[in-house]
Structure 1
Amino acid sequence: MKSTIFNFLSTSNTAMSYENVLLNFVAATIIGLVIFLCYKLTHSRAVYSAKFNVSLLMMTVITTLVMSVIGNNIALSLGMVGALSIVRFRTAIKDVRDTAYIFWCIAVGICCGVSEYFLVGVGSLVIFLVLLLLGAVHSDDVYLISVKADRNAENDISMLMTNAFRGKANMRVNNSNSKSCELIYEVTGKMLKKKVNGQDIKEELYNIDSVSMVNIICQSEEISR
């Protein structure tokens, strides 16, 4: 009985032919190139990482290789899961959209590894179109407005920022000493585009006496890579 169970677990039920294996890798490479193109089209130059894009293509082919090795061998699949469970990836994902591309590559590799060409073709086409349509969707950038001035101008700066942005500008930092102060406010890109008395907020701040410096810093996630 034990030998029967062992033979069932350790023996693949279906042996893949060389032609089938080759066709799996060809399909994985073609779909991987589609993913490569989609990633390049949906990411701006500031976000685009050529190295990460190449790794997506390689991930698709490698997943196909793993699935081809496992086949229908239950014992080998359990051993592969145990081996992969000890691997830890510490690379930080800068753009949350990259996670979707990683799962797409893994799914394509699995489907190609079991010769599900129709499923991977239709699924990849739908995902490709969805990502192209939604690839231009970006969150509104957050800006920091840093104002340096004499301490006696602190109230004037606070009143100007409150009136200009209708109380929506969040004060993040208020540094001061006996002579000078530095105020840092957080606003969105849409708020920053609004004119105050017909001019930019930067010019309005400089109209306040003793304001010596105004810095506007973008906190966009797309330039963090």
Structure 2
Amino acid sequence: MDEFIRLLAAGLQKGNVLLVIIVLVVLFVLNAHKLYPLFVERKKSRLKSLEAALQSEWVKGAERECLKKQAETEHFHAATGIMLEKAPREALLRIYERSGGRLSFVHFKRALPFVHYQKGEFEIRLGWFDRWMMRAGIGTGLVFVPLSMAVLVWALYAWLAPDSAPFGSWKVWVFLNLGGWASVLSSRSAYSANRVRREIQRQASETNIPDDATNPPANP
């Protein structure tokens, strides 16, 4: 760790942006695994507190029912990463079960900013502007990321060539790479919401198909 800090300080002093970015990325990758157990332990402690409260003889009546519902919500959140109350959670599970494996819980989790539950209806409100931004973000990412790889190859070639100054190419690569991935990641929520919306529409259309349309009469 001390060596990484020394490299980071040296990069900041010399204005070496590339070195600073590389050190920060390496530090994040090396320490990312330490963050996940903290989130898991936090969820476990919350569930243990709820379960301990439910086992207490002093918790009765409406308080016990409230804690029971909260425990069910926390268990579902721990299993899927989705925090929803009982009614919208059951509506989500019905859509998931009828999807036949076409949708995973990941898509429902990402689509939460666009989820609305009202009068027993699980609805995805995704406007035309959201869909336009989704397509623009995915399109920008599909252009920027491959282009950044080409710039990276050129920058490495210029760096290995004698009497060259490739730092300008590195700046372009960093801009294209970060911009491309940022565009793709920012579009994930709307993309998943659009998939859930289309699946809801598909299930609704299947439900509205009349019985005589599914069983046409035989030809005489």
Compute the TM-score of the two structures, normalised by the length of structure 1. Answer: 0.27
Pick 1 or 2: higher relative contact order, CA cutoff 8 A, min separation 6: 1
| Larger relative strand fraction | 1
- Greater share of helix residues, 1 or 2? 2
